[in-house]
Chain A
Amino acid sequence: MKKFLATVLVVISWVWLQADNISERIRLNGFLSQGYIYTTDNDLIPNSGKNGSFEFSEMGLTFSVDVSERLSIGVQFLSRDYGSVGNFDVKLDWAFADYNFSDAFGIRFGKIKTPIGFFNTIRDIDSLRPLALLPQAVYDEHMRPVFTAHNGIDIYGNLDLGEIGLLDYVIFCGTVNHPSAQDAPYILQIQQTINSQLNPNGLNLADIRFDNELFYGGRLILDLEKIGFRIGGTYVYHNARMSATLQNIVPGLGLYPFNTLPVTGHMELSNCFFLSAELRVGNLHLVSEYMELLPELRLALFTPEEQVFDDDTMQGWYAMGSFMFGDRLTLTAVYERFLGKKNDPKGTGALEDGNPAFFGWRHDLTAGIRYDISFNWTLKLEYHIIDGLSKSYLFSDPDDYQQKWNMLIAKFSFNF
């Protein structure tokens, strides 16, 4: 993967050097945001339930240049902090070359933000989102490393349908970088899911790592721009090879570290789709999105054949309404629902796994204010009323899980 990215950067540098009058065509942009999260109970990120946490920020720097009429190249570096994830390490967010043959057909090559739904490509840039925290039922922060960007090729275009509007399409194919467990809460969750079945048998799985195999999908959006209405769908497929270490649990002694066994498996994301609809009428903005995701976890423990450990379909949706007063103040309300198991709204499966039933769902009603101080500065304040702890329990104290909890977020951001 590093070789691939190095190749992309070398190609981009070479093309950059070939361009004439380069200084006139270079664009430099950037963004910076700092937030504060306070939860009344539970911890969305470490310590958010005690005194609140300031570990909620992003900063990025973007360079882009139109090398010719058809060819453009660009790079964005991103540094973020989201609780225990990120810790301000500087990462290559995207870097690609884009050759646009016509409005209807173009190709991108490199590390590209994955176009999922309406917001995935801009999920790290606070000033472009209506709220500081995107609806987690669809844009889950824990799964971010899988969905945020891919290394590969995009074929895209915009078909002009005349009076009707536009049909925007993109087909993507490549691989994704899976980070270490420290930067990927979904790995910790997978570990917990598998261990809930292994631990009663005296076994424990540790050190899960993923190597990517395949990532592809596509998005189609019909833009009836005359009436301000967009409707679209996204499909994603991903298959990752998993490697881990199996440990023994000795009764009365706990983990027995001297008798370990390497194991392999797969995580396959199939039946993963997103449906999106949006209406803009004047200063009113209504959006709703729906998501289903089937992550199938398979492990070859003591046999060559892989055994299925988890294959439950997750389901999430939200409905959001915003109204902009003048050109500065925007009020937003969102209702979102997430089910860890689509057909289990009462959390029976969570109970069977030895967790509270409310681990099976998460409902969130949010009201937020956004104030654009200027074109560059934005201030946000939002309050979440939450029921359920699905996907939000990792950093909470197990002795103090609460079904109903509230969250306050304040965030300011700057961009240029």
Chain B
Amino acid sequence: MNPKKMIWTAGLLCLALAIGYGSEISIITNPANDTVSLTQDELRKIFTGKKRSWQNGNRIMIILMKRGSLHDHFLEEVVKQNSTQFSIAWKKLIFTGKAPLLNYAQSEEEMVEMVRRYPHAIGYVGPQSDLEGVKTIFIRD
């Protein structure tokens, strides 16, 4: 492939990712959770382990995708870290005994299923996911 084609292909892939996930990452919780909206700051605090309780005092259960483009995009957009920085930040908590248990989903379907099952869970999915049985959180500025 010549360099021009490579650049175009890379550009189109980035565009596809941006269209696919850019503003369309949905933050989901269990319908029993009375939180309806969160700010970007609150989301970042939750997914970096700095905020561990919902407003009503219940402990937040974080569900992450193991890895993949949705996970990377979520980290970039919401947590403002790359995957290595995110991994190091959590390992700092794990190896000092200060991390809550992290739960991992292998697919978006499993992410939705886990959030549906656990009342205090929070997770994220892409635009194609079936959101039946979970609640989408409105993100305030």
Give residues in A with beta carbon < 8 Å to B.
25, 27, 29, 31, 60, 62, 64, 66, 69-70, 72, 74, 76, 94, 96, 98, 100, 102-103, 112-113, 121-122, 125, 127-128, 158, 160, 163, 166, 223, 225-226, 283, 324, 326-328, 372, 375, 415
Q: Which residues of A contact B59 (CB under 8 A)?
A: 69-70, 100
Interface residues of B in 69-117 (CB under 8 A from A): 82-85, 87-88, 91-92, 94-101
- Using A27-B101, A102-B53, A166-B50 as known contacts, say yes or no to A225 and B44 having CB atoms under 8 A apart: yes
Docked complex Cα distance between A113 and B99 (Å): 14
Are B50's CB and A31's CB within 8 A?
Answer: no
- Using A94-B97, A122-B92, A226-B41 as known contacts, say yes or no to A103 and B58 having CB atoms under 8 A apart: no
- Using A103-B53, A375-B83 as known contacts, say yes or no to A113 and B96 having CB atoms under 8 A apart: yes
Q: Which residues of B contact A66 (CB under 8 A)?
A: 100-101
| Chain B interface bracket (under 10, 10 to 19, 20 to 34, 35 or more) | 20 to 34
Docked complex Cα distance between A64 and B97 (Å): 7
Are A327's CB and B44's CB within 8 A?
Answer: no
Docked complex Cα distance between A223 and B85 (Å): 17
Q: Kindly provide the distance from the CB of B67 to the nearest chain A CB, expressed in whole angstroms.
A: 8
* Most-contacted residue by chain A among B82, B84, B91, B95 (CB, 10 A): B95
**Interface contact tally, CB-CB below 8 A:** 82
Are B82's CB and A225's CB within 8 A?
Answer: no
Are B52's CB and A128's CB within 8 A?
Answer: no
Are A76's CB and B97's CB within 8 A?
Answer: yes
Are B101's CB and A98's CB within 8 A?
Answer: no
- Using A29-B94, A62-B95, A113-B96 as known contacts, say yes or no to A327 and B84 having CB atoms under 8 A apart: yes
Docked complex Cα distance between A62 and B84 (Å): 21
Give residues in B with beta carbon < 8 Å to A.
41, 44-45, 50-53, 57-59, 82-85, 87-88, 91-92, 94-101, 120
Q: Which residues of B contact A60 (CB under 8 A)?
A: 95
Docked complex Cα distance between A158 and B50 (Å): 7
Are B51's CB and A103's CB within 8 A?
Answer: yes
Q: Which of A103, A128, A327 contacts B92 (CB 8 A)?
A: A128
- Using A60-B95, A76-B95, A127-B88 as known contacts, say yes or no to A324 and B41 having CB atoms under 8 A apart: no
Docked complex Cα distance between A225 and B43 (Å): 12
Q: Which of B82, B94, B96, B101 contacts A324 (CB 8 A)?
A: B82
Q: Which residues of A contact B50 (CB under 8 A)?
A: 158, 166, 223, 225
Docked complex Cα distance between A328 and B88 (Å): 12
Q: Which residues of B contact A375 (CB under 8 A)?
A: 83-84, 87
Docked complex Cα distance between A145 and B103 (Å): 35
Q: List 26 A-B contacts (CB under 8 A).
A: A27-B101, A29-B94, A62-B97, A64-B94, A66-B100, A66-B101, A69-B120, A76-B95, A94-B97, A96-B97, A98-B97, A102-B53, A103-B52, A122-B92, A125-B91, A127-B91, A128-B91, A158-B51, A163-B41, A225-B41, A225-B44, A324-B84, A324-B85, A326-B82, A375-B84, A415-B91
Cβ-closest chain B residue relative to A415:
B91
Q: Kindly provide the distance from the CB of B10 to the nearest chain A CB, expressed in whole angstroms.
A: 14
Cβ-closest chain B residue relative to A283:
B82
Docked complex Cα distance between A163 and B39 (Å): 10
- Using A163-B41, A166-B45, A225-B44 as known contacts, say yes or no to A102 and B92 having CB atoms under 8 A apart: no
Q: Which residues of A contact B100 (CB under 8 A)?
A: 66, 72
In the A-B complex, the 6 residue pairs with the smallest Cβ-Cβ separation, listed nearest first, are A74-B97, A327-B82, A69-B59, A327-B84, A121-B96, A66-B101
Q: Kindly provide the distance from the CB of A99 to the nearest chain B CB, expressed in whole angstroms.
A: 12
Q: Which residues of B contact A127 (CB under 8 A)?
A: 88, 91
12 further A-B contacts with Cβ under 8 Å, apart from A122-B92, A375-B84, are A25-B101, A27-B94, A29-B94, A64-B94, A64-B99, A66-B101, A74-B97, A94-B96, A113-B97, A122-B95, A160-B45, A324-B82
